[in-house]
């Protein structure tokens, strides 16, 4: 029993000692483990800090245009979106092929039913935080645009926007107050050999309202904003359909219902009814200056003379069109030449002969079957340089005109292209001097604000004085002015202007120096009034008085001389203009007029009509041209006859 007790006590003691030892060791071990745990914890903490995963969603920090004022943004501005952090550019996309709302960056003016087409993918900057959108076309004026960023965008860690972003008020483009203009037309102005079936096109400077670009498709009246005419818009070409739009509604084209006429000049007019999308109209009607001419052929003929007015034979003549020689011929023994079947257009004629300076002249075939007379003058190669001087006067009053700017081009009848550099300005008394001009033929251009630009041909062989010309004030669009001028050395003394035309009672009027006496009216001989169908207009209104044909300037004192006739308003019918050699009216035969170098200049629609050349034939009455009041077409008559009785000229 005692043994058992002791054994138990010994066992308990051993357990107690063991337990105490174990606790102490445990305590020590715990301390070590704590230290070790602390060390491990520290290591784990460092490891976790260097590999923390970014789970923060990016945000949009700003959306703006390049304008400071977001309520008056330019239609050409770009749109920028800036994020709170660097983005993965592969997820920042936009629509570049159409107006569907695709991509993660979108701009819309209709609450995202459609979206603005962009020219390219968003351009990144600012370490891939900022992205710029460049619209494919200009934005629309006075329009509110909103920007949307979808949750498809991601930052570099793959985090998307927590929710779709959309601007609340957007930005507004400024109001458009700029009138549209015409950028280009087809066929181009002053073009020739145009196909009879050509389409007519016009391109505007901006997007237009398609409903305002209209034309006549039912008849030949000049209706709609898109008009084509061959008779100065008295009538217009019927089109096959309304103009079709392209080029973002900037270009409009239409095709005539029938083929155009051969060898005919057509002009295009766009009226102020044409409006852009902001309802801005053209500032004024647009009308092509020269128009285009369909394919046709014509004839150029004339006479080559020496500067002493005798005819020159065995002269080589070349005909160049657009810088390319199309034919070469030699003139006849009597100095004449003729070349037919030439396509329409402007030609440069060059006459060449040994020991003479080449003579160049411009001639234009404008209508089918037209014959143009172009006379050339050869100057001896011994001619020296000289000074050209003269006086410029008003075509109606005869008063000197100061401040007229003069420039010079090589060749006769050359009205465009580079100049020689020689210039002058008329003095108070209208005189001018062009110094140090080489021997040869020249065209002098005279221009001044308020006047129609005029041209003077001059052949320089030493000094040339008394090279006088006239300049006409601008005219109303329905007015026609005709000026005849003969120089001091012309060899003629007194020439007279004659014009006949339709009156108001199915007859014809005749305006010239003796009209009132010849017609037993004994009224003002200088005017025919349409309102009264007579040479007086008593108690007429200003409008009635202004509708007249007038002999503005009658020159009776010999060479140099100028006479001027003005028709203030064209009426339907045929007008015929002639020049009569009064001094040689009873001489038959006479070449005084044919050899005089007399010039006739017509001004219509504020443009100088190409010059009319004297026929190379004897006579004392030069029938210069007819003018169709309905079609507004000039036709050179190239006709020289004899007529002694000035009262019966028709």
| Residue 177 backbone phi and psi in degrees, to 5 | -120, 10
Q: Output DSSP code: residue 369.
A: T
**pLDDT tens across 338-363, in order?**
999 999 999 999 999 999 999 999 99
> What is residue 66's predicted lDDT score, i.e. its pLDDT?
67
Classify 596 as helix, strand or coil. Answer: coil
- The per-residue b/e assignment along 532-544, b for 16 or more CB within 10 angstroms, e otherwise, is bebbebeeeeeee
Q: Output 68 or 317, whichever has higher pLDDT.
A: 317
Residue 67 pLDDT class (50, 70, 90 cuts): low
CATH fold of the domain at 177-295: Immunoglobulin-like (2.60.40)
Q: How many helices (H) and strands (E) does the chain have?
A: 3, 44
CA-closest candidate to residue 88, choices 138, 129, 55: 129
Dihedral-angle region of residue 44 (phi above 0 means left; psi in -120 to 50 means alpha; beta otherwise): alpha
The answer to whether 231 touches 570, Cβ cutoff 8 Å, is no
Instruction: Please give the structure tokens belonging to residue 620.
Output: 């004392």
In percent, the amount of the chain with pLDDT more than 70 equals: 90
Q: Where do the domains of the chain lie?
A: 58-175, 177-295, 300-364, 383-474, 475-650
3-state secondary structure at position 342: strand
CB neighbour burial string for 63-94, b if at least 16 within 10 angstroms, e if fewer: bbbebeeeeebebebbbbbbbebebebebbbb
Residue with tokens 């390049």: 66
What does 136-157 look like in DSSP terms, one character per residue? SSPPPTT-EEEEEE-TT-BBTT
179: helix, strand or coil = coil
The model's pTM: 0.64
**CATH class for the region spanning 475-650:** mainly beta
Q: Quick one: pLDDT at residue 346?
A: 92
Lowest mean pLDDT among 36-45, 142-151, 154-163, 565-574: 36-45
What average pLDDT does range 320-333 have in this prediction? 94
Q: From CA 142, how far away is CA 72, in angstroms rounded? A: 8
Spatial distance between the Cα atoms of 486 and 493, rounded to a whole number of angstroms: 9
Residue with tokens 């005189």, as numbered in its chain? 431
What pLDDT score does 47 carry?
A: 47
pLDDT, one tens digit per residue, over 406-459 is 999 999 999 999 999 999 999 999 999 999 999 999 999 999 999 999 999 999
The residue to which tokens 């991601």 are assigned: 154
* CATH topology (fold) of 383-474: Immunoglobulin-like (2.60.40)
- Asked whether residue 518 carries a pLDDT value surpassing 60, the answer given is no
- Cβ-contact 424, 387 below 8 angstroms: no
Please check the confidence at residue 192 and state whether its pLDDT lies above 90.
Answer: no
Task: Tell the CATH superfamily of the 300-364 domain.
Answer: Immunoglobulins (2.60.40.10)
Cα Rg of the chain, angstroms: 44
CA atoms within 13 A on the CB side of 334: 5
Q: What is the pLDDT of residue 369?
A: 87
Residue 20 has pLDDT above 80, yes or no: no
Q: Do domains 300-364 and 475-650 have the same CATH topology?
A: no
565 and 549 Cβ atoms separated by less than 8 Å: yes
Q: What is the pLDDT of residues 461-478, one digit of tens each?
A: 999 999 999 999 999 888
Q: How far apart are CA 533 and CA 242, in angstroms?
A: 43
In the predicted model, what is the mean pLDDT of residues 296-304?
93
Give the model's pLDDT for residue 182.
Answer: 97
pLDDT score of 30 more than 60: no
CA distances from 341 to 333, 338, 353 (A): 23, 10, 25
pLDDT above 50: residue 33:
no
Q: Is it the case that residue 58 has pLDDT exceeding 80?
A: yes
Instruction: Give the pLDDT score at 517.
Output: 61
Q: What is the mean pLDDT of residues 308-313?
A: 92
Give dist(CA 139, CA 137) in Å, integer. Answer: 6
Q: Which residues contact 371 (CB under 8 A, 6 or more apart)?
A: 298, 299, 300, 301, 636, 638
pLDDT in tens, 363-413: 998 888 888 999 999 999 999 999 999 999 999 999 999 999 999 999 999
pLDDT tens-place string over residues 608-641: 888 888 888 899 999 999 999 988 888 888 899 9
CB contact set of 481 (below 8 Å; sequence gap of 6+): 395, 396, 472, 475, 564, 565, 566, 567, 602, 603, 604
Buried b (16+ CB within 10 A) or exposed e, 247-279: eebbbbbbbbeeebeebbbbbbbbbeebbbbbe
* pLDDT tier, 51 (very low <50, low <70, confident <90, very high otherwise): low
In the numeric block, the tokens 């929710």 are attached to 163
pLDDT at position 611 is: 80
Q: CATH topology for 58-175?
A: Immunoglobulin-like (2.60.40)
**Whether the Cβ atoms of residue 614 and residue 372 lie closer than 8 Å to each other:** no
Average pLDDT of every residue of the chain: 88
**Which residues make Cβ contacts (< 8 Å) with residue 615, sequence separation at least 6?**
373, 594, 622, 638, 639, 640
What is the mean pLDDT of the segment spanning 591-617?
89
In this structure, the number of other CB atoms found within 10 A of the CB of residue 408 comes to: 21
Determine the pLDDT at residue 34: 39
Identify which has the larger pLDDT, 52 or 325: 325
| Site of tokens 């009064």 | 582
8 Å CB contact between 392 and 404: yes
Overall average pLDDT of the 293-310 stretch: 92
Contacts of residue 93, defined as CB under 8 A and 6 or more positions apart, other chains included, come to 102, 103, 104, 105, 121, 122, 152
Q: Could you give the C-alpha distances from 256 to 202, 240, 355, 584, in angstroms and in order?
A: 14, 5, 54, 52
Q: Taking Cα atoms as reference points, which of 160, 79, 61 lies closest to residue 122? A: 79
Lowest mean pLDDT among 208-222, 318-332, 516-530: 516-530
């Amino acid at each position: 029993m005692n043994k058992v007790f002791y054994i138990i006590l010994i066992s308990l003691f051993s357990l107690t000692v063991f337990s105490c030892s174990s606790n102490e060791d445990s305590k020590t071990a715990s301390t070590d483990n704590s230290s070790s745990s602390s060390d491990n914890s520290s290591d784990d903490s460092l490891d976790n800090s260097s590999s923390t995963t970014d789970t923060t969603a990016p945000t949009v920090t700003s959306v703006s245009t390049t304008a400071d004022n977001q309520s008056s943004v330019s239609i050409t501005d770009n749109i920028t979106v800036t994020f709170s952090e660097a983005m993965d550019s592969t997820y920042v996309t936009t629509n570049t092929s159409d107006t569907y709302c695709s991509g993660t960056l979108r701009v819309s003016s209709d609450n995202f039913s459609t979206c603005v087409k962009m020219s390219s993918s968003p351009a990144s900057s600012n370490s891939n935080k900022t992205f710029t959108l460049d619209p494919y076309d200009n934005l629309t004026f006075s329009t509110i645009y909103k920007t949307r960023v979808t949750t498809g965008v991601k930052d570099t860690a793959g985090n998307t926007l927590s929710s779709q972003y959309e601007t609340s008020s957007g930005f507004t483009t400024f109001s458009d107050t700029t009138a549209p203009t015409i950028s280009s037309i087809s066929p181009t102005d002053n073009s020739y050999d145009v196909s009879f079936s050509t389409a007519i096109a016009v391109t505007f400077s901006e997007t237009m309202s398609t409903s305002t670009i209209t034309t006549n498709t039912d008849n030949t009246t000049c209706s709609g904003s898109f008009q084509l005419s061959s008779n100065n818009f008295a009538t217009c070409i019927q089109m096959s359909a309304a103009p079709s739009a392209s080029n973002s509604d900037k270009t409009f084209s239409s095709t005539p219902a029938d083929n155009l006429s051969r060898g005919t000049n057509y002009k295009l007019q766009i009226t102020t009814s044409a409006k852009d999308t902001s309802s801005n109209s053209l500032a004024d009607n647009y009308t092509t200056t020269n128009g285009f001419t369909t394919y046709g052929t014509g004839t150029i003929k004339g006479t080559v003379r020496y500067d002493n007015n005798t005819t020159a034979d065995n002269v080589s003549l070349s005909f160049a069109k657009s810088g390319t020689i199309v034919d070469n011929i030699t003139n006849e023994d009597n100095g004449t030449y003729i070349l037919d079947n030439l396509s329409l257009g402007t030609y440069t004629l060059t006459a060449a002969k040994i020991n003479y300076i080449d003579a160049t002249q411009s001639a234009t075939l404008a209508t089918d079957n037209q014959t143009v007379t172009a006379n050339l003058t050869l100057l001896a190669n011994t001619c020296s340089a000289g000074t050209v001087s003269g006086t410029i006067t008003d075509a109606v009053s005869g008063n000197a005109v100061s401040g007229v700017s003069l420039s010079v081009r090589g060749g006769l009848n050359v009205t465009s292209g580079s100049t020689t550099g020689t210039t002058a300005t008329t003095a108070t008394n209208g005189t001018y001097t062009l110094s140090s001009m080489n021997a040869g033929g020249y065209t002098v251009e005279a221009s001044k604000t308020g006047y129609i630009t005029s041209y003077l041909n001059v052949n320089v062989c030493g000094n040339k004085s008394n090279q006088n010309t006239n300049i006409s004030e601008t005219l109303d669009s329905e007015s026609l002015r005709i000026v005849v001028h003969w120089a001091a050395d012309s060899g003629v003394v007194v020439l007279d202007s004659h014009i006949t035309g339709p009156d108001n009672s199915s007859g014809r009027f005749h305006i010239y120096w003796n009209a009132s006496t010849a017609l037993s009216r004994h009224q003002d001989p200088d005017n025919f009034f349409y309102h009264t169908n007579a040479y007086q207009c008593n108690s007429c209104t200003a409008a009635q008085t202004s509708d007249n044909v007038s002999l503005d300037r009658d020159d009776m004192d010999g060479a140099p001389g100028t006479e001027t006739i003005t028709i203030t308003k064209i009426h339907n019918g045929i007008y015929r203009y002639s020049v009569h050699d009064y001094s040689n009216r009873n001489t038959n035969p006479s070449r005084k007029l044919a050899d005089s170098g007399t010039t006739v200049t017509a001004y219509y629609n504020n443009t100088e009509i190409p010059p009319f050349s004297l026929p190379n034939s004897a006579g004392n009455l030069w029938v210069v041209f007819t003018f169709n009041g309905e079609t507004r077409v000039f036709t050179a008559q190239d006709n020289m006859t004899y007529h002694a009785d000035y009262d019966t000229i028709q």
